[in-house]
Structure 1
């Protein structure tokens, strides 16, 4: 019994009941014009049911009607779910968007007619069922029942009291079942079209790609800052030189400040969205500060620049900076602060080539032993249509990336 009555304790049951009743409002308005409220018999009820259909069919041709019906269906048939405009959220199965095709209009027309007819039936039952219950109680108590009801009890008898709850139970069953049926119908008739589903999938894919990009940004920036700070602190302790310690502290401060700027920018993106002011992001021409930071840690870094690297197109330049940053981070982390690293950056209008090499001490862990850094390098290259290779090379370790970077000529 508690399981049977549990639907009556849920808010959604009553919001769906309200949705069903609201469908009868338009029928009542149309009945004021035709056929009125005074008729009776099968012909009258047929006319009452059919009178709003032409107007509903015309209304369905208006694109905004589908949006209004979808919004109302979400609010009342699936309350509690986040309601967003148009394609942003289709988890409820009910779209909130204007009709974009005649197929959408046809489905909206069928939905409007179904809602009106179901609403009329539920409205009549909602009035008649309580009235019949009172009539049965009256007949059981010996008073005159309402003779105008379709199923009015005949005579007086105490046993009518046993039947009194039955109309209310029927009403409850119709409200629960009808609400569930209308929800299913809304998902089918007001559900997203194939084009809307595709647009929602594309939007979700773009959000996931953006989140992955931000995760790579944090990994590279914060990982580099922590690695450099740890290595420089260890080198300063081992050197025992006040002068070296001062340089290390300056480098740690500068690296930490830039990491905080990157962190604030990424957090701002997550909170507000947008393109995150791409101009604020470091470019491959700024790789010199990465080199200086690595040198301050005790590493020997040889740099070779070829071509006008300051003219590398923005997206390629920014991703190139991150690739160099990750390669230097891995060299310091896995080969130690005294490692010798060679960095070559070449740009020839058609492509940006990045080549970072370092020896690997015997017994040292390599970047391939774990972490997401190398995967991030390859992902960055692939997203730009380029290639990246990482791994052992000539007794050491090599990160080599080739990124298409064609820029318009003068």
Structure 2
């Protein structure tokens, strides 16, 4: 019984070994003749085709130097012409289109990740040198593999069929004399298959080397990576600014419209004139917000340009902002000691958004039955904005909250200012937006912006 088990174990081992051997053969065949290997072979053949004009130019110089009248018929002179043509190829690689075309070919034929390549012209001296090195390697390897692809297959086919056709042995094909021996004739098919495998191996190896070297020679240099990082940072900054604009304009509009509609509903029967004013304010608010929304979305759409409507500022629309907020029934006391006309445009625009978001937070979290105080004043070379409202219990607040205080802090930081927000004066910016503790007290937002700030 133990012998039977032992025999079964041995048989299983043999089967497993056979399966593993079959898998190894398939993997080897894939490396030599798989889709990626074939595409890289095509890439090398293209390199050989590109090398032909340079080889012909090399023959123009090699012929007179060597005194030969038939350079094409001498294999050694052909190699010398090929070597003479490669420096010419390196010189012509300095044309701007060389790197984009080579990078595209490497991406599609060699299977190199697109993020590892640069598709723009080489600008710096180092980038041009790497492009020249790559072009020379591509044409050099391509010329060798292309030449082998033309010469090796016919010779290998002759070796494979040589034992079957006696007339091939008798013809003047220039075959080695050793093939006249019986033992050599019997091994000629094996030699022919070995030649084909050697050709496939050389092509696969050369293609793999070029694919490995491509990111180093055609990829981004440190200065390219720095430029790309700066471009991404600039794009992110623009998108963050647009997100803040969208949040502040739309968020304020929704809060104001909600307040106005709520107040109009309560006095619908008793005060028609107030309802009429509230509806007019809703109409004006939504019209202005749609215009700002179109401007922001126009930047986000691919191929579109920003809208032509000017951004609201303290000098242009502070009075309208206060009027629309009051139209909803909010009891707002505003004190303005700074002249908005004298403020820099950037400061006036950012300060408008800060005031707008501060009032929106007061409406959203304090409600419309409390007194809100707004102060905009100049003090010691700074524009100070203060919004105060009584704290209310959390169960009395309207639902909402988001990134308003964070947006205010971002705007202030870009201008070199500071933000304090919390229960009471000078409490810092701790706590989440809209999180009002229970009990009496005042919620205070204080923003201090320098009038003169770095450009």
Q: Smaller-chain TM-score range?
A: 0.7 to 0.9
The answer to whether the Cα contact below 8 Å between 2:103 and 2:218 also exists between their aligned partners in 1 is: no
- Per the alignment, residue 302 of structure 1 pairs with 333
Instruction: Give the counterpart of 1:284 among 293, 299, 314.
Output: 314
1:44 aligned onto 2:77: yes
CA displacement at 1:189 relative to structure 2: 1.6
Distance 1:182 1:269, change over 3 A: same
Distance 1:246 1:115, change over 3 A: same
1:206 aligned onto 2:234: yes
Instruction: Give the counterpart of 2:386 among 355, 358, 373.
Output: 355
The answer to whether the Cα contact below 8 Å between 2:104 and 2:119 also exists between their aligned partners in 1 is: no
1:221 aligned onto 2:249: yes
- Per the alignment, residue 295 of structure 2 pairs with 265
SS in 2 for 1:280: coil
Distance 1:321 1:160, change over 3 A: farther
1:97 aligned onto 2:121: yes
- Per the alignment, residue 125 of structure 1 pairs with 148
- Per the alignment, residue 323 of structure 1 pairs with 354
- Per the alignment, residue 107 of structure 2 pairs with 78
The answer to whether the Cα contact below 8 Å between 2:314 and 2:340 also exists between their aligned partners in 1 is: yes
More displaced stretch, 140-149 vs 18-27 = 140-149
- Per the alignment, residue 410 of structure 2 pairs with 379
Aligned residues: 392
- Per the alignment, residue 312 of structure 1 pairs with 343
More displaced stretch, 224-233 vs 240-249 = 240-249
SS in 1 for 2:120: coil
User: What TM-score results when the alignment is normalised by the length of structure 1?
Assistant: 0.82
Distance 1:74 1:297, change over 3 A: same
1:190 aligned onto 2:218: yes
CA displacement at 1:256 relative to structure 2: 1.5
What is the aligned-residue RMSD (CA, Å)? 3.6
Distance 1:321 1:132, change over 3 A: farther
CA displacement at 1:248 relative to structure 2: 2.2
The answer to whether the Cα contact below 8 Å between 1:381 and 1:401 also exists between their aligned partners in 2 is: yes
The answer to whether the Cα contact below 8 Å between 1:78 and 1:92 also exists between their aligned partners in 2 is: no
CA displacement at 1:264 relative to structure 2: 0.8
More displaced stretch, 126-135 vs 301-310 = 126-135
Distance 1:166 1:278, change over 3 A: farther
SS in 1 for 2:108: coil
Question: For 2:203 and 2:188, how far apart are their aligned partners in 1?
Answer: 24
- Per the alignment, residue 24 of structure 1 pairs with 48
Distance 1:343 1:104, change over 3 A: same
The answer to whether the Cα contact below 8 Å between 1:140 and 1:159 also exists between their aligned partners in 2 is: no
More displaced stretch, 396-405 vs 231-240 = 231-240
Question: For 2:313 and 2:109, how far apart are their aligned partners in 1?
Answer: 45
SS in 2 for 1:401: strand
Structure with higher Rg: it is 2
Question: For 1:8 and 1:138, how far apart are their aligned partners in 2?
Answer: 23
More displaced stretch, 197-206 vs 22-31 = 22-31
- Per the alignment, residue 247 of structure 1 pairs with 277
Question: For 2:238 and 2:278, how far apart are their aligned partners in 1?
Answer: 35
More displaced stretch, 326-335 vs 119-128 = 119-128
The answer to whether the Cα contact below 8 Å between 2:298 and 2:305 also exists between their aligned partners in 1 is: no
1:398 aligned onto 2:422: no
The answer to whether the Cα contact below 8 Å between 1:386 and 1:403 also exists between their aligned partners in 2 is: yes
SS in 2 for 1:94: coil
CA displacement at 1:283 relative to structure 2: 0.8
Distance 1:30 1:6, change over 3 A: closer
